[in-house]
Structure 1
Amino acid sequence: MAAEKIALVTGGSRGIGVEVARQLARKDYRVVITSRDGLAGKAAADKLRSENLEVFHQPLELTRQESVRRLAGYLQEQFGRLDALVNNAGQFIDPDPDDPRQASVLEAPLSQLQASLDVNLLGTVRVCQAVVPLMRGHAGCIVNVSSGYGQLQGMKAAFPGYRISKTALNALTRLLAAELEADGIRVNSVDPGWTRTRMGGSQAPRSPAEAANGIVWAATLPADGPSGGFFRDGTAIPW
């Protein structure tokens, strides 16, 4: 049992997250998904288990340190290790970009920017601080699910909270990759592309399963795989 690979997927109750969990479980990972909505998370885990996949659910509120500690304690008690961490949980709370005042970083309420950073950046930091100790010695992979909206190259106006928080998440990727290199832990950012989810909307061209492919690729890299990069569909893209 100790030799089996364990994966954690935050924000795993729907959309891209649940597809990442499905694909990892099909690769014989035992997968723990988290969600703020306990009922939705349990339902997602039950659905995946009905497909004969080993998937478990734990509640998680990224903005609460105690919730993150409970998750780490669960992983330690149940598995004693972690091989893949997919930081997928996030939020997009920026207002309608068609309203020039709402779209402007100069007009955006600071509370809105803080909320975006607290979940999309600091929430990921909280999780990493709590669970990365379980990865040391296993040469695993960390994937930070980012966005093309966080690319500095070609960045435009609108969506200030989301853009800033995802750019900062990419910086975290670089920091973690450098710090964990000696442990053989690969850390990369992945842009899943515009996807048909609650966040992406029904007009997006990609299915959640298609978007999950590149994330799962980065979560299952071999020991000599890349680290500290930004990828879409397994191909490096500019920062």
Structure 2
Amino acid sequence: MHAKSTVFITGADRGLGFETVKALLQSSNAHTIFIGALLIRDAENAVKRAQSELPQTKSNLEAVEIDIESDESIQSAFEKVSSKCGKLDTLINNAGAQFETAQAEGRLTLREAWNKSWSVNVTGAQVLTHVFVPLLLKSTNPRVIFLTSGTSTLEETYISVYPFNHSPVKGWPKEQDPAASFPAYRSSKTGLNMMMREWERTLKHDGVKVFCCDPGFSATNLGGSPDQMKKIGAQDPAIGGAFIKDVVEGNRDQDAGKVLRIDGIQPW
């Protein structure tokens, strides 16, 4: 009987993170899954929901409080995972956010929206990964996954099927709504792709497989309510969760160091 693999997922109390938890719970493989959330009560509630929905699972769940903008919180999460398991097989940097909506509504300035985007989507993932490397190196088959976005690709910046790629009419100021084009969010995810490449280079000889994963346009709270997202073509986030599960379980190992899509490789 194989020992359970250990998986830590940030932002796992809802959306794509929670769907990834459920996909792993339905796997024929057994996992110890750490559900990370900003507040411990949200992580604990997610554990209860998942156990209620999938009581027959081979896997088990642990709740972890994690604020990826806090070094103290990251260290505390590290100590909990270390004390429970002593190693980590897969780190999934799922927690992320877009702040253009808050900017458009006047709750953040332009500078604040951009700084917050990079703090959460890039810096937080960088610091978390840095802290957890010692646990990953205790695994015999370690993986690091960063959740990116289909909007991050440079090569597809001008593909006209995406409404956010359209150029506004001449003149200044532009009337383009930042919440409709989200330049801070997509720029931070492009930066995340480069960060993944740096980790892939850094950990190559340690046997750590590193990926970015684009789960597809999913109906989560990231860009509005899930119902609103579905009306404009967003897919069920369970599809993305199943995709991430496949990466965790080694089905895309041949594509390590790249930005993965469900059906192939995302161009740079």
> TM over 0.5: same fold?
yes
Give the equivalent residue in structure 2 for 1:76.
82
Counterpart selection for 2:189 from 148, 155, 166: 166
Deviation, 1:226, is: 2.4
In structure 1, list runs of 5 or more residues that go unmatched: 103-107
1:146–1:190: 8 Å Cα contact kept in structure 2?
A: yes
Deviations 1:73-121 (A, max 9, x none): 0011110000011110001111389x7xx9xxxxx72121110100000
SS of equivalent to 1:72:
helix
More divergent stretch after superposition (12-21 vs 134-143): 134-143
1:84–1:220: 8 Å Cα contact kept in structure 2?
A: no
2:145–2:213: 8 Å Cα contact kept in structure 1?
A: yes
Counterpart CA distance in 1 for 2:44 and 2:145 is 23
Give the equivalent residue in structure 2 for 1:47.
49
Give the equivalent residue in structure 2 for 1:194.
217
Normalised TM-score (structure 1) = 0.89
Give the equivalent residue in structure 2 for 1:180.
203
Q: Output aligned runs, 1:32-111, within 5 Å.
A: 32-50=34-52, 51-52=54-55, 53=57, 54-95=60-101, 109-111=110-112
Deviation, 1:139, is: 2.2
Larger Rg: 2
- The count of aligned residue pairs is 231
Counterpart CA distance in 1 for 2:92 and 2:50 is 17
**Identity score, percent:** 26
SS of equivalent to 1:188:
strand
**CA RMSD across the alignment:** 2.2
Does the alignment pair 1:231 with 2:260?
Answer: yes
Q: 1:18 corresponds to which letter in structure 2?
A: F
Counterpart selection for 1:209 from 229, 232, 238: 238
Counterpart CA distance in 1 for 2:194 and 2:243 is 20
Does the alignment pair 1:127 with 2:106?
Answer: no
Deviations 1:136-188 (A, max 9, x none): 14221111000011111122473121011100110011111111111211111
1:141–1:220: 8 Å Cα contact kept in structure 2?
A: no
In structure 2, list runs of 5 or more residues that go unmatched: 158-164, 168-180
SS of equivalent to 1:90:
coil
SS of equivalent to 2:22:
helix
Counterpart CA distance in 2 for 1:182 and 1:81 is 18
2:102–2:113: 8 Å Cα contact kept in structure 1?
A: no
